Chains A and B, each alone.
Chain A
């Protein structure tokens, strides 16, 4: 029952929220589409928190995604034992970095006077969820070895089964409690993402990499006028 909830109910619920709320928010109220940076108000603690958290979580998340999107590639890489061990250890390190960063950020939310002025309930919710997620991730990395190996014989086929609407939870239902917590946390975060400032992670600044530095906008089409 609990397995069905975690591995079927939660993911589809989260997916539905993500797919429907996100466009609604994008088209109805883009004014709120921002990470709500508070660096302006407090920066000393933020440096340690935000740098550690972001660089840790971005790489770990990319590793999860690569395993999911390019399982063959990961398989090829981990067939070399030296690479495999290095990857395991680096990932654990990055996970610890993210955990450290998120704890620092929580500490900052709780103590910095000015930050209280810009703190909403969602900020606490997100922070606690992300800390739990990083903590369970680190726990799994240490105690459920070796993640890089079992990930794409279990989690990856399970995720694909979700996408094809034939959820096969037997791939993952035998995992220990902390793994289930980690999965539940992931889908919970995905589900609340459209409601919170986490939407900022969906924005990748690629457009600006190729565009001209100086951007003009006209209230009419200048070419049309030339005719």
Chain B
């Protein structure tokens, strides 16, 4: 057992309203720079939809993630020899058109335009060429709310049957906020010829060392989530840094702090690093279970000792015990990894949505039977189980059904309690929950405060390297990223 700690985010999709506030706060802090205008370390997608960049889930196109070949985990991009051969031109790299050409508007024209019969307009200006753009043909959320679109939503690879989005009564929609998953077995890292990408041992954050990165761009296609972006101005790759300057001091990530729906949870998970390789070669249907099995119980004495031996501090162990993430991911098994079949072992988790709550398929907007201990058949839920399991459990419908049943039971139980009826504990027992679990989950989902939803132990780096911290500099790139003459 090799116990390591990681700081992990969970998204409660039932609560996401798709407002993009997270994206904006992230953009303002980190990527409002030349070369990164198009890069959205955090973005929110409408599902069904093609996402950002377009069709990022299509690994036939981008060759992201890993595949199992003869019992071994191999990059879909190819081996090291293939890497060397494609250094000069990389066939699978996403191109600007797969994202969008970043633009600004010429607002000065509104003031400076010559007098005329027509109202002046603010033309779109390309942030790359600086020239006027006749048409804007893409954006970071270009198919926002278009879950019924035959152009965008119908191209969603998770849809088993495209017909479903054509029927008004059956159409469904959910939002999917995405950041870098800070994977346990990151494909970007494995593909980097410069070995510039690394995972921090102490908190699991995956970073690109900008001094070591040589701009070979393999990470941009190897990451199956397309969360590594190539900065065309500096010639190097960049990605979400999990707001480490904030997290190190015990503050929340900017996207979490600004989240309007309070859908995000941040906390510590302890995991067994020695078993990651074995877990990743399991068949698709077993991947979620294998990943859950890696996550260790922080109350277990042996785990605690193993963690201490690896340098996990007492403050971190304490945080791991009260971690909302552990509660949601492992203890009650409500949060699932996004596309585990990419086999990078992503370390952000999603609670699949019930919304719109309990609408049945038989007629539009008809409420299914409610309360009084009956759990409606999962098949009658608006969002098809097949769709959710394609997103969150590599097609294993049982896992998603279990989660949804728990969520429904929780609502029924809490509803009875709130209405002053005698709550029926059997509802909970049927899905292996209990009143204590219900109370804890209810707090996390509905009324828990900021410090309940986010338990972030500070790094106390000064204790690890006091000499190195002395005279330390602030954040940011201190050398102008300008090359050559």
Contacts and interface: CB of A to CB of B under 8 A. Distances in A.
Contacts of A29: 479
Contacts of A55: 88
A116 B129 CA distance: 7
B189 interface: yes
A207 B189 contact: no
B197 interface: yes
Contact of B195 (A121, A122, A215, A219): A215
Nearest to B127: A117
B209 to A, nearest CB: 8
Nearest to B88: A54
B426 to A, nearest CB: 45
Contacts of B464: 219-220
A122 B194 contact: no
Interface stretch (A32-40, A65-73, A132-140, A144-152): A32-40
A166 interface: no
Contacts of B197: 215
Contact of A41 (B80, B83, B128, B186): B128
Contact of B484 (A43, A114, A197, A208): A197
Contacts of B193: 205, 208
Interface in A179-227: 195-197, 200, 203, 205, 207-209, 211, 213-220, 222, 225-226
Contacts of B214: 33-35, 200, 203
B406 to A, nearest CB: 33
The contact size tier of chain B is 35 or more
Nearest to B202: A219
A46 B89 contact: yes
Nearest to A33: B214
B458 to A, nearest CB: 13
B201 interface: yes
A218 B482 contact: no
A118 B233 contact: yes
A215 B189 contact: yes
Interface residues of A, number: 52
B82 interface: no
A50 B89 contact: yes
B387 interface: no
Contacts of B129: 113-114, 116-117
Nearest to A123: B484
A203 B215 CA distance: 11
Contact of A209 (B80, B310, B485): B80
Given A41-B232, A213-B189, A217-B200, A225 B310 contact: yes
B417 interface: no
A195 B215 contact: no
B241 interface: no
A134 B419 CA distance: 84
Q: Which of A36, A114, A200, A214 has the most CB of B within 10 A?
A: A214
Given A216-B198, A218-B201, A35 B485 contact: no
Given A31-B477, A114-B129, A208 B192 contact: yes
A40 B217 CA distance: 9
A32 B482 contact: yes
Interface stretch (B17-25, B90-98, B168-176, B376-384): B90-98
Interface in B307-334: 309-311
Contacts of A43: 89, 93, 95
Interface in A42-60: 43, 46-47, 50-51, 53-55
Contact of B232 (A40, A211, A213, A218): A40
Contacts of B84: 205
A125 interface: yes
Nearest to A30: B211
A40 B201 contact: no
B485 A195 contact: yes
A54 B88 CA distance: 7
A220 B199 contact: no
B420 interface: no
9 contacts: A32-B483, A39-B217, A43-B95, A113-B129, A122-B485, A205-B83, A205-B87, A215-B199, A216-B201
Interface of A: 29-41, 43, 46-47, 50-51, 53-55, 113-114, 116-118, 120-123, 125, 195-197, 200, 203, 205, 207-209, 211, 213-220, 222, 225-226
Interface of B: 80, 83-84, 87-90, 93, 95-96, 128-131, 184-186, 189-190, 192-195, 197-202, 210-217, 230, 232-236, 276, 309-311, 459, 461, 464-465, 477, 479, 481-485
